[in-house]
């Protein structure tokens, strides 16, 4: 496949880039800082402002899929506004270019057993709350729109570096828990799940989540 990968230098984006390249796909890393992307077979790099929807739409034409690991910037006091603006621009660009979108969301929009969303819990870490609220509201915008050629993937509650096992379990709007009652997945296996969805779409117009 010919994949446009936004945010390829970030924590999740770099795992997605490694997995996609290992599968033999042709990947264009769309980033703010090209110097952060190491040379690799099948990988090209383009510097772009993803908040410019019109310019991004022109760039995306001809790709099979765009995978967005865009993040408004953890630690930025304006992360909410930046994440919403970027996410909406990316979705608008993909729609205009006629290219399917897989967007990486957060776990904060997943639902607790009582139906509430994790980000609204008082136990949710304050340092991540604004970014998680933005990711939740970006998902809502996709769900309420008339364009359905998108998929949003939420990780397990705990997403950390680990091993690539190739194994995972899928969920919809509630976290996936293992036999110990923990919701977790390695970023490597999260990337496996995202690329599996890219290659074999099963959740068009929907969100799904991944865990062990």
For 181-201, how does the pLDDT look when each residue is reduced to its tens digit (9 = 90+)?
A: 999 999 999 999 999 999 999
Mean pLDDT of the chain: 95
pLDDT the model gives residue 50: 93
pLDDT the model gives residue 187: 98
- Given pLDDT bands bounded at 50, 70 and 90, which one contains residue 38? confident
pLDDT the model gives residue 12: 97
Q: Give 139's strand partners.
A: none
Q: Looking at the predicted structure, is the pLDDT value of residue 75 above 80? A: no
Task: Give the percent of the chain with pLDDT over 70.
Answer: 100
Q: What is the DSSP string of 26-40?
A: EEEEEES-GGGSPP-
Q: 77: which residues sit within 8 A by CB, 6+ positions away?
A: none
Q: What is the mean pLDDT of residues 27-40?
A: 91
- Residue located via tokens 């293992």: 178
Alpha carbon distance 144, 194 (integer Å): 23
Q: Looking at the predicted structure, is the pLDDT value of residue 59 above 90? A: yes
Alpha carbon distance 167, 175 (integer Å): 16
At residue 207, the 3 state secondary structure works out as strand
Alpha carbon distance 187, 147 (integer Å): 29
- Given pLDDT bands bounded at 50, 70 and 90, which one contains residue 92? very high
pLDDT the model gives residue 161: 98
pLDDT the model gives residue 33: 87
Q: Looking at the predicted structure, is the pLDDT value of residue 46 above 80? A: yes
């Amino acid at each position: 496949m010919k994949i446009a990968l936004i945010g390829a230098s970030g924590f999740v984006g770099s795992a997605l880039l490694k997995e996609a390249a290992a599968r033999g796909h042709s990947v264009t890393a769309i980033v703010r800082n090209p110097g952060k992307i190491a040379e690799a077979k099948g990988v090209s790099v383009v510097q772009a402002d993803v908040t410019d929807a019109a310019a991004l739409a022109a760039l995306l034409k001809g790709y099979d899929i765009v995978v967005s690991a865009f993040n408004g910037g953890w630690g930025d006091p304006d992360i909410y506004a930046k994440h919403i603006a970027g996410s909406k621009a990316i979705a608008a660009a993909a729609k205009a270019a006629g290219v399917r979108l897989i967007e990486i969301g957060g776990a904060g929009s997943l639902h607790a057993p009582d139906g509430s969303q994790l980000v609204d819990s008082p136990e949710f870490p304050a340092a991540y709350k604004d970014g998680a609220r933005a990711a939740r509201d970006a998902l809502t915008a996709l769900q309420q729109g008339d364009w359905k050629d998108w998929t949003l993937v939420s990780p397990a509650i705990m997403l950390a570096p680990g091993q690539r096992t190739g194994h995972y379990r899928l969920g919809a709007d509630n976290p996936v828990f293992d036999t110990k009652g923990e919701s977790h997945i390695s970023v490597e296996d999260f990337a496996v799940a995202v690329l599996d969805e890219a290659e074999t779409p099963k959740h068009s117009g929907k969100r799904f989540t991944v865990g062990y």
